[in-house]
Structure 1
């Protein structure tokens, strides 16, 4: 291919890759698109060429997947359209540098190395994903493993988690790409057919289960469907509060969960006695609740929180730990950027990493707020003590910031992968969707229609016991993955250096 055409091809392959996260049926697009990248990288004449391919693939992948950030910045943040589009493009370009560096390292290391090139590719891919997941607080949205919640690779989740799945997918894709580059498309097609056959057979195998059922809790999830431009409006606040109070009391479940900041005021800003009256009414109706509400003061700092009400008393507080840059905290040097947007409460304080669970009728409910469920390594910290490990995850979210976009099904895929990794049910109470119950198999068992107002009530069975992923991730975090990928690249580099020293002088 000519250079310009090849680079356009890489960006188009990245756009194709992004589509695999929008619907469960499209999971096969993920390794297929990645195989296209691996094919062209295997033919790259030098590291700089591979870096362009990786960077453009990454840009197409991210721009095609997180374009909805434009909606929050422009429609609800008040930023000029051109500046919002530029900001999204700059973010995607910056995050694509990890993949550009990974592809450059791959090409530089595999030359004259005896290590299998697809293994080096997969290790470089894994390091790029881990870098994006952790550096500058991390933004691992659309990590490649999330595409496989419904595919055969999803069965690996309780063993190796989302990044391990991404590594395996990259290894398979790179094998196809390498065969295509070195032996022609016929060899790659035969290998692809064999992999599809093996994947189909794997789907027939019984799932290994590492956890046991505990008790069943009747849970009601509220979905207020409050438009983001009305959420903090004084004109609409009374109706919003009235709806949530009535929904809390009328819900059929014994435990009721609201979305993130369902009460969009600080407790001291509420009408006098409002919270105490809510406690009394819940007790009279025999209900417990988890209510999303901001807490704090100017002097103490603010937190994005959830309060647990049991037996007529507020007995529990959860403060969000992993905050959203620009939305919930302001990175140093970026105050000017936040000042361009009209987002209230834009600078929060962090809660503890290993937060306790809320105990309700024998079940340990572990809240996480909005995109905190994107960080499985942080949720795993709560499993360090098996006797206190959560039995049910509860995600409370408000992604009305992103309108009626693909962000909703993408976030659902993330939650489903968390359920698979830990073999825990995940219930999601959201403002606009997806409000669902996910069982420990990662399957959505009950759901409300997104962008509607209503209450979802369903029985939820808790789980006890630990998956292998929960055990090693709670003990060591992401370090085993980092060490394994670095070991592969280090070995490839060592063999290349040895080959260079053994090459006779010309």
Structure 2
């Protein structure tokens, strides 16, 4: 590595670029097999081009290390997020070559935590030049930087958080510790292994700590595997998951109020909901923004008779309660539709009344809102291709006629474990399942639906609760607590998926729900204590 730092600039940017490609390969890519170890090896290639010891501090500049991170992000972006240009074309009306140019610019923001890591790493390394610190010991140095990388990965916002932990899903159900420490544990182990690779490439020496941490995590997973709810208790709920496969043109025209388009969308979902095949659903679920007519939850609650006729007909004919993604009118009024609507989910009970509504709380930047705070309202007057939704405030817990509880997440909300944890802790009772309604039609025939489902599955593992995913164009399925999945409605398929979901008799909070990310500090304190103990024994002997 010394010759690389001094004379050859190509590996300094080629290694990270290849690392980014490998990192992306660890996640589902349409048309190619996933490489589960790609994230660890790819991150190791990037970290091998960064300096970690005070004696190497002057071998690379800050600018050079940031360029290495951007090279990594470019490879990661080109393979992992190749669907962004398609989104810009379909959703934003931006065509080639401009959609590709803008898509490549996302390289600058896809891995912000790594930029922060370089800045903090160099600051810590600079301070260590003046006096002996934790960086003086190989194990403590690697442990410290693995902790820093893990913390930054979870506290720095990412629009599509594909973390180091997530490829471990391929090892399910042998992931028992996830209920105690969540995905952050597996991110930490992965970063430790990536630093092990980088350390070996730089020094040709082997440090045992990352291998010990990996081995312990692996053994615990195999001895305490995850399990899903069985049907032994006899308690279950029958769900009808409806996938309309509504194309973007038809969807937009229906939401603009064009009567033929509106009627066609409603007829498709109503017809699928009423499908007769001997299955008597307790709850029928439509995906995100599937109902094109604007609703007003306040009026629906004040006047139960105003429930849309289509909903009454479905509930009356099928004796099934109904959960529908749609648009909820807010109390705000203006001429340019700034926060006048909510992206919402409506629950109509067996009495054909609106029982409750959930309004989406995490809005997608540049799709459902802008991230510029007080400037958003001014910018909304000039930008036409963004839906400026109002932000929801409540965490409702829904209850079916049979007493089965569920909470919900709309679209990308399911990707944020801290958000789901806040939802769980906002209610005294635990849900029997989570409903995740979404619309991935904007991404075209790409890998995004596969990746969205893959990342969503971690919420089922962390909270020991199945996730019921219902989408407009696919993929619709149930993600179980042990890492398994029900049968699917594949992408671009119109139909229904009828599922009998077992219900657990007694529900308990997972340790991760109780302590969240803070549980990791218990592990880190224990590891440092272990290193101190080992050092004392070596000194005494």
The residue number in structure 2 matching 1:172 is 193
Contiguous gaps of at least 5 residues in structure 1 = 490-506
The residue number in structure 2 matching 1:471 is 514
Instruction: Describe the shift of the 1:355–1:313 C-alpha distance in structure 2 as closer, same or farther (beyond 3 A).
Output: closer
1:4-33, Cα deviation, whole Å (9 max, x unpaired): 332122122112101111168522211121
Give the TM-score normalised by the residue count of structure 1: 0.83
Instruction: Describe the shift of the 1:78–1:341 C-alpha distance in structure 2 as closer, same or farther (beyond 3 A).
Output: farther
The residue number in structure 2 matching 1:303 is 342
CA shift for structure 1 position 183:
1.9
The residue correspondences of 1:175-324 to structure 2 (distance < 5 A) are: 175-183=196-204, 204-207=222-225, 215-233=235-253, 234=258, 235-250=260-275, 252=279, 253-267=281-295, 275-296=308-329, 299=333, 301-311=340-350, 312-324=352-364
Moved more, 101-110 or 225-234: 101-110
Alignment partner for residue 21 of structure 1, among 19, 23, 27?
Answer: 27
Is the Cα contact below 8 Å between 1:265 and 1:294 reproduced in 2? yes
CA distance in 2, matches of 1:386, 1:368: 15
1:334-353, Cα deviation, whole Å (9 max, x unpaired): 7769956645xx01111125
The residue number in structure 2 matching 1:118 is 142
CA shift for structure 1 position 384:
2.1
CA distance in 1, matches of 2:380, 2:100: 14
CA shift for structure 1 position 101:
2.9
CA shift for structure 1 position 42:
4.5
Alignment partner for residue 109 of structure 2, among 80, 94, 99?
Answer: 94
Contiguous gaps of at least 5 residues in structure 2 = 297-304, 334-338, 529-541
CA shift for structure 1 position 193:
9.5
CA shift for structure 1 position 107:
4.8
CA distance in 2, matches of 1:145, 1:223: 30
SS in 1 for 2:512: helix
Moved more, 415-424 or 112-121: 112-121
The residue number in structure 2 matching 1:380 is 421
Is the Cα contact below 8 Å between 2:176 and 2:222 reproduced in 1? no
CA distance in 2, matches of 1:174, 1:221: 44
The residue number in structure 1 matching 2:488 is 447
C-alpha RMSD over aligned residues:
3.5
Is the Cα contact below 8 Å between 2:193 and 2:211 reproduced in 1? no
SS in 1 for 2:50: helix
1:430-454, Cα deviation, whole Å (9 max, x unpaired): 0111101111212112211221111
The residue number in structure 1 matching 2:39 is 30
Alignment partner for residue 9 of structure 2, among 3, 26, 32?
Answer: 3
CA shift for structure 1 position 322:
0.7
| Pair 1:421-2:445 in alignment | no
Is the Cα contact below 8 Å between 1:223 and 1:454 reproduced in 2? yes
| RCO comparison, higher one (Cα < 8 Å, 6+) | 1
Instruction: Describe the shift of the 1:15–1:160 C-alpha distance in structure 2 as closer, same or farther (beyond 3 A).
Output: same
Moved more, 174-183 or 254-263: 174-183
SS in 1 for 2:490: coil
Moved more, 192-201 or 233-242: 192-201
CA distance in 2, matches of 1:466, 1:35: 35
Is the Cα contact below 8 Å between 2:175 and 2:222 reproduced in 1? no
CA shift for structure 1 position 468:
0.8
Aligned length: 473
Moved more, 55-64 or 158-167: 55-64
SS in 1 for 2:48: helix
The residue number in structure 1 matching 2:388 is 347
Structure of higher CA gyration radius: 2
